[in-house]
Structure 1
Amino acid sequence: MNAIYLKYLRMIRNIHAVTKETLCIKPEEVPYLLSLAQRHFTSPFLFSYMESYPEAVPALKQQSKMIMYQYYQIEHFTELTISLMDESGIPYYLLKGISLASYYPFPEYRKLGDLDLYIPDASALKKAEKVLEDHGFILDPDVSDHHSTYVYTFPKTGRTYILELHFRIVGLYQYEKANRIVDSIFSDSSMIPESQTIGRHTYTVLPPTECVFYMLHHMLKHYLYSGFGIRLLCDFTLYLNARNADIDYDKLHQWCRDSRIIHFYEIIIESCRKYLGLSDSVDPFLCRDNDQTLDDFITKILEDQDMGTVSHSTLVGSGSYKKINLWTYFCEGHLQMKVRFPKLHKCILLWPVLWSITFVCFLWNTHHYRHSTLKDTLADFRNTNSNSQLIKIFENQD
């Protein structure tokens, strides 16, 4: 791994270190470190190291102000939305966002993008949808296999924010057993809600073991998409360091083995331990991966952009394949058909028609939303699949 990446990781590691490491920044390193800070939205954490370099200060200040301003805006948006749920007696789980930011020494330094709520109960979900629409939330027509997207505009400021209302904790995989395991673990009857107080407000959040399992699948989905940057690894490190005693690692290992993401979990744990200061007391008996695999993985993470800034030209793969061929594309298309037609796909006789409609929609989205061609989109799919070979998810089932 190159020296700039290592120094950047040491700076990020200092976020929560009890004894801060003294780091000397050379003038020739500044442009590269600044680029990493901007790409991964970590300017607030690097500002103190580079404030003596005038060429870096304006960009660092601008992004830091934006991140902090957005934090307080999303915090307010979260309070507003949760108050609607509480007033209507709707049970929910707050995912990520200000919940994970609270584990940072300075929560407002953690970039926030939108608000995510998970409502596993179908009747409560329908009630929530009505409450939101009655209060000015507008449903986005975009189709997702695990959440509905709502847009809300504050009347006084005109600023718009996004709520992702999850009916499934993460998106579907081609590996059906993983879907069943995830759905079972995060069902309404399987979890004991936990309360978290942030400022003056108390929110319902996932229990610690389930939260770690969710973060793993959340990272995996973004990794399969086109990367997630350093932020999610920081979240993971800070959360596990803080909640280590509350996590049932035996149960977590079993879930990871059953859903065949245990190697991904091992890579995440050891990468965070090696580079970001994850405590040695966190899952200490885990089999350690080789250093080259960890270096390759963390290098890819640093070369990616932050997960909220990836290109929409990338075609999402639902898993990892040993080879890409026409059958692979058909499998992905079949899954997207099931996502687009959650009820109609149960009638096998309709499949030819539904496949055709799904393919036409895919071509439309490729041109109008991805602003790409079919050839380029499929090439991106092949590239992202090659990245997934590193983590051996689902034992690379074809």
Structure 2
Amino acid sequence: MDQNQAFLRALRAALRGRTVSWTGAGPGKGPDSPETWGRLLRMASVHNVLPMVYEAVWPCPAFSAVPESVRAQCKGEVIHMVARQVSSTARFLQLYRALCAGGVEPVVVKGLICRSLYPQPDHRPSSDEDLLVPPDRFAACHALLLQNGLRVMNPQTDPDTAFEVSYLDPRTGFYLEVHKSLFEPGSGAVGDFNACFEDCFSRAVWQTVEGVSVRTLAPQDHLLYLILHAFKHFIHSGFGIRQICDIILMAEANGPAIDWAKLLRRCESLHAAVFAASVFKIGTEHLGFDRTAAGYPAAWQTIPVDAGPMLRDILSGGVYGAADSDRQHSSTITLNAVEAARTGGKSSVLQSVFPARSQLVGRYPVLKKWPVLLPAVWADRLFHYGKELARGGGQGAAQSVSIGRQRVDLMRYYKIIR
């Protein structure tokens, strides 16, 4: 059994609170060598699901093939990750209670809500937490967060104009993102996704998590958002297997509340139907997606898809396609191609090297006030790319272009680009 098969089987077991029963090496028995075990554990780490995978594999007899030093190191890392998650969750809930007491009732998306779907929530790590607030409530939310010890992460961010603001707790390292909209309004690739959530605040529901009542998206909105969030990352540099886990667990937990016909119409209108069907196919074939519990209908199951290329892209890319710098830099090529397809414009490698201001303003907030600085931002990007290459972080522009073109073909394959 190679590391990809073993990784997916271990993850599938973890999603159901079970362990694998591998007794040795070979088909159906476990990874075929200590080296394969090492690659499996590294893959789990790259995809930020190490605690889940570790819990699924450590009791099985075949795990004894892993050197004791590696097992000890892995266990220590898992303990650290889980403890950090417990601390982060506690800090987040403390802040959420403070926001509600101050008259702000933000909508919680992703992290905390997704973790609550897992057998062991703190074994599903989150790098941050996300809140959605109406633009007219952002100033009050911002002030309360500062009063409670958080600081704006990027000093260049203008909280009044940014569509999302990142905060850091300097004492604990807790990281929080507050969104005024779920997708960047000015993005030619995903900006129109916000129209799907125009009335989401009126549909929001309250849910109790760890004894605290939190406001979150209605199940229909949340499932659509998880799909479109994965879609957004797919057209950049990629998305990870953990996002598929979140999507299928959300669907299973809320099956009776999901209008699958409406969801399909939404996805079709955004050229995301084949993408979404492929996500559920990966969930069905590799992660035990319970289509009955989710009420997953025939109309979705009969969409002709081959999820193999997507699965390979996911496994090779890691969380958000961050496996290597060449792949990350290739994202401008895929993003330009999708934007061009949506707007009727043209896409080229030159445009990817020197992106439009609208594509860079999120990372370089100074461009909002000073558009004339765009050439300086281009130079800064090229300078930092050169530094990464000097450190051995990638193979060069030619490799990024090659990866970008391959992934544009993937966009065409899944009918995102037509």
Q: TM-score, normalised by structure 2?
A: 0.79
Q: 1:92, 1:117 within 8 Å by CA — same for their partners in 2?
A: yes
Moved more, 383-392 or 241-250: 383-392
> Residues 207 and 320 from structure 1, CA distance in 2 versus in 1: closer, same or farther, beyond 3 angstroms?
farther
Aligned counterpart, 1:164: 177
Q: Find the counterpart in structure 2 of residue 148 from structure 1.
A: 165
Give the whole-Å Cα distance in 2 for the aligned partners of 1:229 and 1:103. 18
CA–CA separation in structure 1 for the residues paired with 2:255 and 2:386? 41
Distance in 2 (CA, whole Å) between partners of 1:241 and 1:328 is: 42
Query: What is the Cα deviation at residue 394 of structure 1?
Result: 7.1
1:271 aligns with 2:313: no
- Contact 1:333–1:359 under 8 Å retained in 2: no
Report what 1:349 is aligned to: none
Normalised by the size of structure 1, how large is the TM-score? 0.83
Q: How far apart, CA to CA, are the structure 1 residues paired with 2:10 and 2:123?
A: 14
Residues 276, 218 of structure 1: alpha-carbon distance in 2 compared, 3 angstrom cutoff: same
* TM superposition shift of 1:79: 1.1
Q: What's the RMSD between the two structures over aligned residues?
A: 3.4
2:4 aligned residue: 5
Shift of 1:260: 1.7
Q: Does residue 1:240 correspond to 2:257, yes or no?
A: no
Partner of 2:236: 225
In the alignment, what sits opposite 1:325?
348
Identity, % of aligned pairs?
17
Residue 114 of structure 2 is matched in structure 1 by 100
Q: Mark the CA change 1:310 to 1:134 in structure 2 (over 3 Å): closer, same or farther.
A: farther
More deviation in 128-137 or 267-276? 128-137
* CA distance in 2: counterparts of 1:228 and 1:394, whole angstroms: 17
Aligned match of 1:364: 380
Stretches of structure 2 lacking an aligned partner (at least 5 in a row): 23-28, 390-394
From 285, 306, 309, the counterpart of 1:296:
309
* Range 249-258 or range 135-144, more displaced: 135-144
CA distance in 2, matches of 1:319, 1:277: 35
1:33-44 superposed matches below 5 A = 33-44=40-51
CA deviation string 1:299-325 (max 9, x = no partner): 221112223955567244335458852
1:110 aligns with 2:124: yes
Kept in 1: contact 2:207–2:214 (CA 8 A): yes
Q: Post-superposition shift, 1:187?
A: 2.6
1:184 Cα deviation after fit: 2.2
Tell me the CA shift for residue 126 of structure 1: 1.6
For 2:17 and 2:120, the matched residues in 1 are separated by 14
Report the Cα distance in structure 2 between the residues aligned to 1:53 and 1:224, rounded to whole angstroms. Answer: 39
Q: Please list, as runs of the form range in 1=range in 2, the aligned pairs for 1:20-59 lying within 5 A after superposition.
A: 22-23=21-22, 24-26=29-31, 28=33, 29-44=36-51, 45-46=53-54, 47-49=58-60, 51-55=63-67, 56-59=70-73
User: 1:238 & 1:376 partners in 2: Cα distance?
Assistant: 39
Distance in 1 (alpha carbons) for counterparts of 2:381 and 2:157: 11
**Secondary structure class of the residue paired with 1:196:** strand
Gaps of 5+ in 1: 346-352
Quick check: 1:123 aligned with 2:136?
A: yes
Secondary structure of the residue aligned to 1:160 is coil
Q: Per chain length, whose mean CA-contact separation is higher, i.e. which structure has more relative contact order (CA < 8 Å, sep 6+)?
A: 1
Structure 1: distance between partners of 2:50 and 2:360: 41
* More divergent stretch after superposition (78-87 vs 329-338): 329-338
Distance 2:349 2:319 in 1: 31
Show CA shifts across 1:2-48 (max 9, x none): 84312321221112348876432245132232222222233332333
Separation (CA, whole Å) in 2 of partners of 1:224 and 1:296: 14
What is the alpha-carbon distance in structure 1 between the residues aligned to residue 16 and residue 304 of structure 2?
25
Partner of 1:306: 319
Distance in 2 between residues matched to 1:344 and 1:21, nearest whole Å:
52
Deviation at 1:271, TM superposition (A): 1.2
Q: How many residues align?
A: 380
CA–CA distance in 1 between the matches of 2:279 and 2:199?
27
* CA distance 1:58–1:20, shift in 2 (3 Å): closer
